[in-house]
Amino acid sequence: MKKLVTIGAFVLFVLTNAQMTKGDWVISGNTSVGFNSTNTYTKVNGAKYGETKISSFSVTPSAGYFVIDGLAVGIDLGFNSITTKENLNKTTVSSFSVMPTATYYFKTGTKFIPFLGAGIGYSTNKLKYDFDSSSIDPLLLLETETVTDGLSWKVKGGVTYMATQSLGLNLGLGFDQFYTKETYSGIDYKTSRNTFGVNLGFSYFIKSKAEKTDK
């Protein structure tokens, strides 16, 4: 019985400590999907007005290298899209970002490993309007689009559950901000987009060649 307990403890130790050391790599992918539909609307002569539907999607693939035990430095690529529909009017806000990041994993001696991270980089933001102009022409739908780019930064935190020695499942919270300032005719125009959400994803940890050779 004591041998079984000893073996079990050793296996658990290996599972929870055999990754996230200097020279290792981590490949991650986090995503969030959200849908919302309001049921508040007004009917006039059988026609429905004021109903709003919102859908969102984001995905963040990333890669990091452990410069010291527990600390991974790398790059996050982010794509985020939010679409709002109101009757025949539609607004879509989409963004793409490239961000150097640093993430620290706190080893706890269990399969649950908390993490904190932050990053700062570049983002491009596209705002697209499709709005109904039936008052002018029933068959006409007007479309406008604006694109801006600027600084973006983010912070994140959560916990990784190590399902295997290499594969972790992530659950976390994140906040990111896009900011830009442009000047026209002596007037400053500032654009800011803040996003806060819950993220689900995975992390795959790759051992360094040196450690594999030692084993």
| Domain containing residue 38 | 2-214
Residue 33 has pLDDT above 80, yes or no: no
Per-residue CA distances from 89 to 64, 66, 129 (Å):
41, 47, 8
Which residue would you say has higher pLDDT here, 214 or 206?
Answer: 206
What's the pLDDT at 47?
64
Q: What pLDDT is recorded for position 6?
A: 43
| CA distances (Å), origin 127, targets 36, 37, 81, 92 | 20, 21, 10, 6
H/E element, 13:
helix 2-17
Q: 129: Cβ–Cβ under 8 A, 6 or more apart, which residues?
A: 89, 90, 91, 142, 143, 144, 145
Quick: pLDDT tens for 127-151: 888 876 555 455 455 668 888 888 9
Tell me which DSSP letter residue 211 carries: H
Report residue 193 as tokens. Answer: 């987009």
Whether the pTM exceeds 0.75: the reply is no
Reduce the DSSP state of residue 2 to 3 states and report it.
Answer: helix
Total domain count, the chain: 1
Query: Mean pLDDT over residues 151-176, rounded?
Result: 93
CATH code (residue 204):
2.40.160.20
Q: Where are the beta strands (DSSP E) in 108-140?
A: 112-132
Determine the pLDDT at residue 133. 58
Cβ atoms of 107 and 113 within 8 Å: the answer is yes
Tell me the three state secondary structure of residue 91.
strand
Q: What is the DSSP letter of 204?
A: E
pLDDT at 167: 94
User: pLDDT, tens digit, for every residue of 103-117?
Assistant: 999 989 899 999 999
